[in-house]
């Protein structure tokens, strides 16, 4: 079955930007993600263990950060099934302080190539606290 996004291929050009979105992450987010993913590694919820491992503090799961970046694309496309390929490299961890605010991951995207079959390549940037947390983040999306 072929899935197509609600974004029209003919209305997208190389250089089309997906407006940045901010995704909050708090310690409670991490605890919930631990339960949802089954990844209870203590560096994601215990400050003492995270620091003893050489980290500045508790860090978000890499897959959570990756998912938030993908959410920008799926929300833009209008259908998560339209994403045909997705990959990232982790550049820096998202450090999550023990306060009521947490951090935000800001994600932006830009169409960098149009492919056959109504597909577009979207390159993503993701930062937290002004630091790039993902590198080579890229999705291929089938547009309508």
Question: What is the CA angle 101-23-107, rounded to 5?
Answer: 135
Segment 63-71 mean pLDDT? 98
Q: Look at residue 6 in the predicted model and tell me its pLDDT.
A: 82
Segment 131-135 mean pLDDT? 98
Instruction: Please say if the pLDDT value at position 1 is more than 60.
Output: no
pTM of the model: 0.92
Instruction: Please say if the pLDDT value at position 2 is more than 80.
Output: no
Residues found in the chain? 144
Q: Look at residue 3 in the predicted model and tell me its pLDDT.
A: 57
Segment 19-40 mean pLDDT? 97
Write out the DSSP string of 99-120: SSS-EEEEEEEEEEEEETTTEE
Segment 8-34 mean pLDDT? 97
Segment 122-143 mean pLDDT? 97
pLDDT bucket at 77, cuts 50 / 70 / 90: very high
């Amino acid at each position: 079955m072929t899935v197509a996004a609600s974004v029209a291929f003919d209305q997208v050009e190389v250089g089309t930007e997906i407006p940045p979105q901010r995704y909050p992450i708090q310690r409670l987010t991490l605890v919930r993600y631990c339960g949802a993913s089954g990844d209870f590694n203590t560096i994601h919820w215990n400050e003492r263990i995270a620091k003893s491992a050489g980290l500045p503090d508790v860090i978000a799961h890499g897959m959570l950060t990756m998912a938030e970046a993908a959410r920008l694309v799926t929300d833009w496309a209008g259908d998560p099934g339209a994403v045909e390929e997705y990959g990232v490299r982790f550049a820096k961890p998202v450090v999550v302080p023990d306060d009521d605010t947490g951090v935000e991951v800001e994600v932006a995207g830009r169409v960098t190539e149009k492919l056959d079959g109504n597909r577009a390549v979207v390159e993503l940037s993701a930062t937290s606290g002004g630091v790039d947390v993902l590198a080579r983040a890229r999705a291929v999306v089938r547009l309508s």
